[in-house]
Structure 1
Amino acid sequence: MEKKLPIVCPSCESELKVNSMHCESCSTTISGMFELPLLLKLSRKEQDFILDFVKASGSLKIMAGKLGLSYPTVRNMLDDLIGKIEKLQNTPQL
């Protein structure tokens, strides 16, 4: 079973930050307070949609066929995702 990277606190639902990173190859550890990249703040389903969309060369028609949904439905999904990304980009960082 693949472990999923948590992006919100399971206790208070605040956004989590990265505290340290470790290189398994040379055992270097970097500590600090780092923001998660914007795309990691999206759900796994949203990330998968973006990957599939890029692999479909940005074609909503191909996406609709792949997902078994209508073109307008996929267009609405993309519009919702764009709105969420814009909201995340405009959220002030603490």
Structure 2
Amino acid sequence: MKLPIICPSCDHTLNVSQMTCPSCATQVNGDYELPTLLKLNREEQEFVLNFFLSSGSIKEMAKQAELSYPTMRNKMDDLIERVKKLQN
């Protein structure tokens, strides 16, 4: 099951309120904000993961996605702006 990150009623980012250990069933309850990277949608998270797996090479990512370097650079710039907004 995928972790929901957006409220289906009002489109705001959800917080985590409970976590359970799968080993011993210990439960932790509270109101915790999601880390910034988890606030990204699936596509954005995959982009960050691909960037990491390509050793931070936008050129390599562009090659693998069969896109031009400027197109991939623009995608990166858009994601950087999105992350900045999420951190504020």
**What TM-score do you get using the length of structure 1 for normalisation?**
0.89
Runs (5+) with no aligned partner, structure 1: none
Distance in 2 between residues matched to 1:43 and 1:12, nearest whole Å: 16
Offset of 1:32 from its aligned partner?
0.5
Cα shift readout 1:10-34 (whole Å, capped 9, x = no counterpart) = 1111221101000121110000000
Unaligned runs of 5+ in 2: none
Aligned residue number for residue 31 of structure 2: 33
Structure 2 distance, partners of 1:86, 1:12, is: 22
Letter in 1 for 2:51: F
Count of aligned residue pairs for this structure pair: 88
Partner residue in 2 for 1:16: 14
Q: Percent identity?
A: 57
Q: CA deviation at 1:4?
A: 1.7
Task: Name the structure, 1 or 2, with higher relative contact order (CA <8 Å, separation 6+).
Answer: 2
SS at match of 1:88: helix
Match of 2:67 among 63, 66, 69: 69
Q: Which residue of 2 aligns with 1:87?
A: 85
The AA in structure 1 aligned to 2:5 is I
TM-superposition CA deviations, 1:58-82 (whole Å, max 9, x none): 1111000111110000000000000
Residue 88 of structure 1 deviates from its aligned partner by: 0.7
Deviating above 4 A after TM superposition, structure 1's stretches of 4 or more consecutive aligned residues are none
CA RMSD of aligned residues (A): 0.8
Amino acid at match of 2:9: S
